[in-house]
A and B are shown apart, each in its own frame.
Chain A
Amino acid sequence: MDSMRDRFAATTTRLLDEDPSLAVVLAEISADRFEQAGRDHPDRVINVGIREQLLVGVGAGLALAGLRPVVHTFASFLIERPFEQVKLDFGHQDVGGVLVSAAASYDWPAGGFTHMAPGDVALLDTLDGWTVHVPGHPDEAETLLRHAVAAGDDRVYVRLSEQANTSPVKVDGEHFRTVKEGRSGVVVAVGPMLDNVLRATEGLDVTVLYATTVRPFDAEALRAAVGPGPAEVVIVEPYLAGTSTGEADTALLDVPHRVLGLGVGRAELRRYGQIEEHLAAHGLDAVSLRGRISGFLSLPEGGA
């Protein structure tokens, strides 16, 4: 299976051929994947070198000139390092663009914490008007990327990861999908967390919603899933734990509810190794999730 990042390059290369208003801005990362596109469209595939503030400013400048920019690098360097550029050059200027990250929370654990960005979605939550897509499979990444590029002058963040589910789900760039129905609680699985959540909830009488577009948050889907309440909701996110609990609280304002936010811990984990080892360390592997979800919902871990 190709990775989401491979699919991003292939899809964007095709979109550059189809849409003369599209431009890609890079800061060396993934530049090798855009060599052919750069030869075909030298004015619309722009590599600014290792300059991330310029990367984001240039993207917004392209938007000011009437183009649709796709701006790409690792999440740490796309959202965290040039955060004021993201806030002002897109938000305050009131222009749109598509930010596409790679490396996610710990796609390269051996590379250490400098290349990990579990706080990216929480950071974007401090800004207004960003759509956030978190695909869980390369096919979903392609679909959501196409939505993002076609979304007029909207500001869209597409968070790509090396973690992926085995099978794609049909996603529409807007709604959560119900992948399993039950009566004893609702578990929202975000993007690459779906496979582990489904394994963790095997035999448990719970509803599982699958979310790949987390901002705007599909409040309606969550309200429909919990019914009249009282509601018990677990959100399993591949980034900072609790990032979306506020959204769930707001969605359930009129329903008595408890929400458990599971995700990457805030404490820096000074470990290298493999993705699976980091998932386990943060309690996001299937076995850990089963214990934490069952405990919160007061269900026997063995299932009904």
Chain B
Amino acid sequence: MTTTANHAYGYTDLPELMGLMTGDEKHSPAATSTLDALWVLHDRVLRVSPETADDPGRDRFLLSKGHGPMAYYAVLTAKGFVEREWLTGFGSYDSPLGHHPDRTLVPGVEIASGSLGHGLPLAVGTALGLRAQRLSDPAVWVLVGDAELDEGSNHEAIAYAGPAGLERLHTLVIDNASATWARPGGIAARFEAAGWSAVTVDGRDHEALYAAFTAPHPGRPHAVIARVEPKTS
């Protein structure tokens, strides 16, 4: 739980916060595919708060899959980065909250995203930049979609980060089986073949997500594949 000016928000408040953006408290599974993983990550794993949002030593979370960011904005609101009042203006001309997030407009947002395949390469660069400054503590997390992994830029990043031993780099793949051509052998196998640590979990199971997020992975980057309901269900 995080205390903001007027309210203490928890996981159970997230549907209501999302409803402020959409006018609907009942979301399809696809719209909330990221919700549980985002919540567990921000609530229990990431070491960053509105007070430390500019601290060089903070953990970084990069939302690469910028489409459908309602769950992201709801979690950022719950954690005090975004004001609740902003949510009702979602997507309007005067709102800082677009249908794709912009890092220059929203506190706590590390990258502006929307176009797929940019977050993981940016995360690789960020991890390299922190390492070059001897900032070995901060973790870098990037969230991608399973279909987003089709982008060649992600293949470049995965293939490089494993052999480069980027231990502080973490990729969270939300797998709602939306790729038109599924990856033979599964998503985890793709990361493992490139020298990553990888674990696949139920993307709705908070304890399983937490265990996967915090699993040790010495000398290697780490991928968590969070399986949720198929997009078409």
Contacts and interface: CB of A to CB of B under 8 A. Distances in A.
Interface of A: 23, 25, 43-44, 46, 48-49, 51, 53-54, 56-67, 69, 84-85, 88-89, 92-94
Interface in B141-160: 152-153, 156-157, 159-160
B111 to A, nearest CB: 6
8 contacts: A46-B128, A53-B152, A54-B157, A61-B121, A61-B128, A62-B128, A64-B129, A85-B153
Contacts of A58: 121-122, 124-125, 128
A60 to B, nearest CB: 6
Interface string B108-130: 00111001011011111111111
A61 B160 contact: no
Interface of B: 56, 103-104, 110-112, 115, 117-118, 120-133, 152-153, 156-157, 159-160
Nearest to B158: A54
A59 B121 CA distance: 9
A44 B111 CA distance: 22
A39 to B, nearest CB: 15
Contacts of A62: 125-126, 128-129, 132
A288 to B, nearest CB: 42
A88 B110 CA distance: 14
Nearest to B129: A65
Contacts of A67: 129, 132-133
Contacts of A53: 117, 121, 152-153, 156
A66 B121 contact: no
Interface hub of B56, B104, B121, B131 (most chain A Cβ within 10 A): B121
Contact of B118 (A43, A69, A85, A94): A85
A11 to B, nearest CB: 20
Residue of A54, A88, A89 with most partner-chain B CB within 10 A: A54
A51 B115 CA distance: 19
Contacts of A66: 56, 129, 133
B111 A57 contact: no
Contacts of B156: 48, 51, 53-54
Nearest to A45: B132
B115 A84 contact: yes
Contact of B103 (A23, A49, A84, A93): A93
B133 A61 contact: no
A48 B159 CA distance: 10
Contact of A64 (B125, B131, B132, B159): B125
B122 A57 contact: yes
A83 to B, nearest CB: 12
B122 A93 contact: yes
A64 to B, nearest CB: 5
Which of A51, A65, A69, A94: most chain B CB closer than 10 A?
A65
User: Which of A25, A58, A93 has most chain B Cβ within 10 Å?
Assistant: A58
Contact of B160 (A49, A60, A89): A49
A54 B153 contact: yes
A96 B51 CA distance: 25
B121 A85 contact: yes
B129 A57 contact: no
Given A53-B156, A61-B124, A66-B129, 16 more contacts: A23-B132, A25-B125, A43-B128, A43-B131, A48-B156, A54-B157, A57-B122, A57-B125, A61-B121, A61-B127, A62-B128, A64-B122, A65-B130, A85-B153, A93-B122, A94-B104
A86 to B, nearest CB: 11
A54 B132 contact: no
Closest 9 CB pairs of A and B: A61-B125, A57-B121, A65-B129, A58-B125, A51-B156, A54-B156, A53-B153, A43-B132, A62-B129
B153 A64 contact: no
A57 B122 CA distance: 5
B196 to A, nearest CB: 15
A88 B125 contact: no
Nearest to B131: A43
